[in-house]
Amino acid sequence: MKIVALAGSIVGSKTKIAIHKIVELLNEKYPEHDVTILDLAQYNIAFSDGRNYVDYEGDTKYVAETIMAADALVIGTPTFQASIPATLKNIFDLLPVNAFRDKTVSAIVTAGTSKHYLMVEQQLKPILAYMKAHIVPTYVFIEEKDFLRKEIVNDDVLFRLERLAEDTVMVADAFAEIRAKKDAEYDF
């Protein structure tokens, strides 16, 4: 299984810390899976202009094709102005409407305050549903107070990240099995 862990911002460190932690957990528990980190701060991504994602070049093409080739994604996003950052929205805009069909997508959200904990429900999940993702129902919300010296120090958050890694792989496996059974019904 190909899993992409996407750090959906070009600024800040908390979302990246959380994404690196879940990648560590995925690699420990599921070494047979291919896990790739896409940290948007490491790439020069063009603004979406309506082209097909395969028509872009360079970093934009690499990021879009890596996402499209994934079986599952863990999307990490900070909360900016009670929503997702423009860099993450641009990634969604670069992809086709059905980009997440047959893909499992889970989320990790960082925010400075608990006041934004419903941002995932109101902003991110509707976009993912529109793009046909199999959305892992639970997500991990991490506040400023859960970090200390560039580490997650809240044991409950660490437990929830471990559970999110498991849930992401289990949901992806379940949907792959369902799809394989459905495909087997066809005799061609």
Could you report the per-residue pLDDT of 140-176, keeping only the tens digit for each? 999 999 999 999 999 999 999 999 999 999 999 999 9
Read off the pLDDT band of 70 (50, 70, 90).
very high
Judge if pTM exceeds 0.85. Answer: yes
Residue pointed to by tokens 């603004």: 47
In the predicted model, what is the mean pLDDT of residues 71-92?
96
Q: Return the amino acid letter for 185.
A: E
Per DSSP, what are the bridge partners of residue 83?
A: 80
Read off the pLDDT band of 187 (50, 70, 90).
confident
Q: What does the alpha-carbon distance between residue 21 and residue 105 come to, in Å, rounded to a whole number?
A: 17
Which DSSP string corresponds to 80-131? BTTB--HHHHHHHHHS-TTTTTT-EEEEEEEESSGGGTTHIIIIIHHHHHHT
Residue 100 sits at φ, ψ, to 5 deg, of -105, 10
In the predicted model, what is the mean pLDDT of residues 131-145?
97
